[in-house]
Amino acid sequence: MAFSTKTFALASAALVTVLGAFAVPALAQVPATPWELKPDMGYAYDRDGKTYSYKMGTSNAGELLKGAKKVPKGTLFFIGHNGQLYMRTGPYLEGDGKFKFGPDQ
């Protein structure tokens, strides 16, 4: 089974975003928590918008890396109101370190 690193990154983002959306209180901004992505796991965001995780092996790692791209530092992933996964590069924190796109207070 082979899938791209882009798919891996998108699926990771979708999974974390979806899980995070349920954990955030409506009016309170909670501190950011790091993702717990594991090197031996693959994460997918399929054409129907579903997310999956896969246990990966090493026998075809070279094939996995062909055409793969690094995700730039400073990239924000999120799911829009339409259920589509998006990514955005650029600032996403205010000068005081608060999340720029957090809930209105």
Residues of the chain under the 50 pLDDT cut: 1, 3, 18-19, 21-27
pLDDT (0 to 100) of residue 9: 56
pLDDT (0 to 100) of residue 53: 92
pLDDT (0 to 100) of residue 7: 55
* Exposure string for 49-78, b = 16+ CB within 10 A, e = fewer: eebeeeebeeeeeeebeeeeeebeeeebbb
Question: What span, in angstroms and rounded, lies between the C-alpha atoms of 97 and 8?
Answer: 28
pLDDT (0 to 100) of residue 19: 47
- Is there a contact between 54 and 41 (Cβ–Cβ < 8 Å)? yes
| Centroid of chain to Cα 46 | 13
pLDDT (0 to 100) of residue 36: 84
Query: What is the model's pTM?
Result: 0.57
